[in-house]
Chains A and B, each alone.
Chain A
Amino acid sequence: MVFEPWTQGIMQRALAEVALLGLVGGALGCWIVFYELSYSAESLAHALFPGLVIASLTGLPLLLGAGIGVTVAAVAVAILGRAPEIGRDTSVAVVISALFGFGVVLALSPASPPGLQGLLFGDVLGVSNLDLLLAAVLAVVVLVSLRLLHRQLLAVGFDRTTARSIGADPRLADIALLVLIGLATVVAVQGLGNLLVVAVLVGPAATARLLVRRMAPMMVLASLLAVLAGVAGLYLSYYAGTAGGASVAGCMVVLYLISLSVNALLRWKRKADGATAPGALGFAPGPSGGGRDV
């Protein structure tokens, strides 16, 4: 019952894909939540759509199309975001609607083969070995970069104005983060499709942030939770017969809602017990202590 799904090759590959995207999405997600970049993360996935469509029309590997598409989108967001009158959010909206519109024109043109929905919602059960290998390489790149950039990202994230004085460059941190989000999106888009990618990039990280305060443990916990929710989604999909990507994404959102209610319940209980903890659970020193982050 428990191990039965994993006897098939399809499910084994799906498991590997979910593990990869969970590791990357969880760790990177903590930075996305910290930097308030959810909209960019959500929309980069939409904006790589024309790349996916072109790849599937010309028969190139999907990951290659996704990579090119996401690069174009990230560069466009970075350029437009520098116009002072319109904030970052508005420039993101401009870029995604233009690029997604382009993708839809290509995808719905009479010459295109059907199969658009696979690109939109992903197909976690249709991952090939080559896809897995490419995804693994990208995952290693993202995780290593996160390790190398850790101090920079932390310094800039806490205080942009003084970050420069301790040798961190806010612009470099922003661009690096955008590129890493792009790479992670490319890994995740295969399994979740471009409408659901944001679930793994934000869900586990937001959940972990409810539970711990320090960055490094938060990243580890978020990755663990992401893999856990991903596996739960695969079980759900296997036994209930629901769509794979949507089940995985749904589990990640449900996980967040559960921790949120548990958190609220604990807070309420603490208040009822009369313990005079300063503020909510989130602001009290966590189990890992309130020391400075590494």
Chain B
Amino acid sequence: MKKLLALLLCAIMILPAFAFADETTEISLWTYPIGSWGDPDTVNGIIAKFNEVHPEIKVKVNYLDYASGDDQVTTAIEAKTTPDIVMEGPERLVANWGAAGKMLDISDLWDDAVKADIIAASPAVEAACKNAEGIYYEYPLCMTTHCMVINYNDFEAAGALQYLDEATHTWTTEGFLNALDALEAAGYLPTGVVYCGGQGGDQGTRALVTNLYSGQFTNADHTAYTMDSEENIKALQLLKDLVEAGKLDADPGIVAGDEIALFCNSTLSIGFCWNASAAVSNKASLADDVKVFPMAFPSDDGVPELQGGIWGFGLFDNGDEARAQAAKTFVKFVCDDENQAAASVYASGFFPTRASLGDVYAGTDKAENGEYAIFMPFLGDYYQVTGNWAAQRTEWWNLLQRIFAGGDVAAEVATYCANANK
């Protein structure tokens, strides 16, 4: 009897604590490894800053990787265990999960001031974050252009530097072909590899093909894939001929990560998948005789149209209004808070999507990242928001495999378009 009373007293005393405890909201953030956003220390630091201003919102983080991240989100969608916030790009947030109706409309985050700021940085970004009806599914944080890279030392030794414009880091298709000849003559084989073992790094191979003869990957309103245009088929044929002539390699057994390893250990003189973040993360792996020199993709008119990368936040529709609000608060803080915004972009290793932020790397120890800003004017159409994007990516590397296995270019492209344009 005494024990029972004692227990009851304890319970009554503890009860009020529960009432107060309900005041904190807990939200979950899933992030892909975008620069240091894949590093727990960095992200925890950002969350700590957030909690100084908003202690009532707790943020739990899950770090995805590109190999299995999509699988995890897919299963979470099916099991209805999706997080509150996910950080990635429009091809996933807008074109995939947004189009499937799983994301929240976050147009209320896009007030006029922010919209103007973002458009000033790049109209392509603003256009990519919303769907055809004008509903915004992504709130962008950073962007970049994907470029390629050459080993300056190899090019110098082979006398191939004359074929590129060192000041603007661009070259023409003709210059590219001459450079390949020079490298081959000097014995620098293999020159480069057109990797097609999987979807990892396909932004490199896409950019390579579309720029050679200024073809477009999709039509203007992003409703169909136009790999069957005359320019693109000519480009694919050129690559196939180069591979058969031994001036370029193709490998259906590797993906971008492997290609970068081959570039870093000086097997290759050219790498087709590169950007500011890759430069930072691979610095320590570079062999002694490799000097990194980023380049735009070769184009027939010397003006490349580079593929963009846009990263930002999207909110899953979990049916919980309180958590959605808390999530929006967090996103707004990370992207727009005057003390935090620049730091968030800095952590990603890429460039701000708000013109007002300027150069976030000036005067920091990552100042050389600023070097990659020279490619920003060449940012082309952000077409990754076209429908059926995920399936198309698989069709793309399968197309490349079939072509390099000897298939007829026009016929294989027809198959690709038929499957991708479903």
Q: Do the two chains belong together in a single complex?
A: no
Task: Report A's interface with B, CB cutoff 8 A.
Answer: none
Task: Report B's interface with A, CB cutoff 8 A.
Answer: none
